[in-house]
Structure 1
Amino acid sequence: MESDGFDLERFVEAQAPVYSDVLRELRDGRKRTHWMWFIFPQLSGLGHSPMAQYYGIASLDEARAYLAHPLLGPRLTECVEAVLTHPERSANAIFGIPDDAKFRSCLTLFLAAGAAEHPFGAALPHFYGSPDPRTLSLLGAER
């Protein structure tokens, strides 16, 4: 099923068997399994692995469609909120390398797409201080 011309169903299908585990890991404050690409997607062009390419968000319009999706938007918000329950930990301590950078890219993308200031606008300055410059650069080229 496509939403506004985007194959967002790829995210729904990938999340279905693991979403409860993802939330548990985030609430525990430590990512232990492999799901970053389809839980916290980033802009296409940042990652080069097949998974990063498949789950990359191609444009601000696709990011807006993701946020507006009745399942994906609320799940993304819920996951960011779960990360924010660990203000004493760094993104690196929660996600490890390189997933801490992917989280920053994801927050930057969805804020640019119009995501709610909370929790996205709270998480970005708390964990990183500033948006991801590579994401902003690619978005600038899109405009």
Structure 2
Amino acid sequence: MQDPYNLARFVEAQRPLFSRVMDELHAGRKRSHWMWFIFPQLQGLGRSEMASLFAISGLAEARAYLQHEVLGPRLEEAVKTVLQHSGTSAERIFGSPDDLKFRSCLTLFLSAESGSPLYQQALDQFYSGEPDRRTLDLLGRQI
């Protein structure tokens, strides 16, 4: 199977930790380090080595991620689990600055999936419906 975006890097990173990630999300508190490969964001936002390694290059890669047989369903499951914590802020769940990364991730995948109700619902619940402006600016430069 071809993998032009090397999405295998996400699958490999998630493999040993996904169960723990889901436990943390169910508990409503991120405690370990996995944000980059569970809720990836657009290239150009993060500056660390991990942020660069797991950055999504653009809308085409984001769409491929969503259509991936493992990654798409896992992202959906993770977002749905976070949504179960209504009345709790994203900052409380993820800490800072990971709450900002979650917003960037939602904005990216909402843009890739043309108005997905799931990603919009999460933006509505945690960010008063406001997408991440830096993500939108970077996407605008790509179009």
Q: What TM-score does the superposition give when structure 1 sets the normalisation length? A: 0.96
* Equivalent residue number for residue 41 of structure 1: 40
* Equivalent residue number for residue 66 of structure 1: 65
Q: Secondary structure of 1:43's match?
A: coil
* Equivalent residue number for residue 15 of structure 2: 16
- For 1:82-121, list aligned pairs within 5 A: 82-114=81-113, 117-121=116-120
1 CA distance for matches of 2:140 and 2:86?
A: 31
2 CA distance for matches of 1:128 and 1:115?
A: 19
Aligned length: 142
Contact 1:104–1:131 (CA under 8 A) maintained in structure 2: yes
1:65-114 deviations in Å (ceiling 9; x for gaps)? 00000000000000000000000100000000000000000000000001
Which consecutive aligned stretches of 4+ in structure 1 deviate over 4 angstroms post-superposition? Answer: none
1 CA distance for matches of 2:115 and 2:21?
A: 22
* Equivalent residue number for residue 75 of structure 2: 76
Q: What TM-score does the superposition give when structure 2 sets the normalisation length? A: 0.96
Q: CA deviation at 1:2?
A: 4.3
How large is the Cα RMSD of the aligned pairs?
1.1
* Equivalent residue number for residue 29 of structure 1: 28
- What amino acid is the match of 2:123? L
Q: CA deviation at 1:117?
A: 2.5
Q: Which segments of 5 or more consecutive residues in structure 2 lack a partner in the other structure?
A: none
Contact 1:63–1:109 (CA under 8 A) maintained in structure 2: yes
* Equivalent residue number for residue 136 of structure 1: 136
1 CA distance for matches of 2:114 and 2:53?
A: 22
Q: Which moved more, 1:113-122 or 1:78-87?
A: 113-122
Contact 1:42–1:105 (CA under 8 A) maintained in structure 2: yes
Percent identity, please. 58
1:2-39 deviations in Å (ceiling 9; x for gaps)? 43x11000000000000000000001000000000000
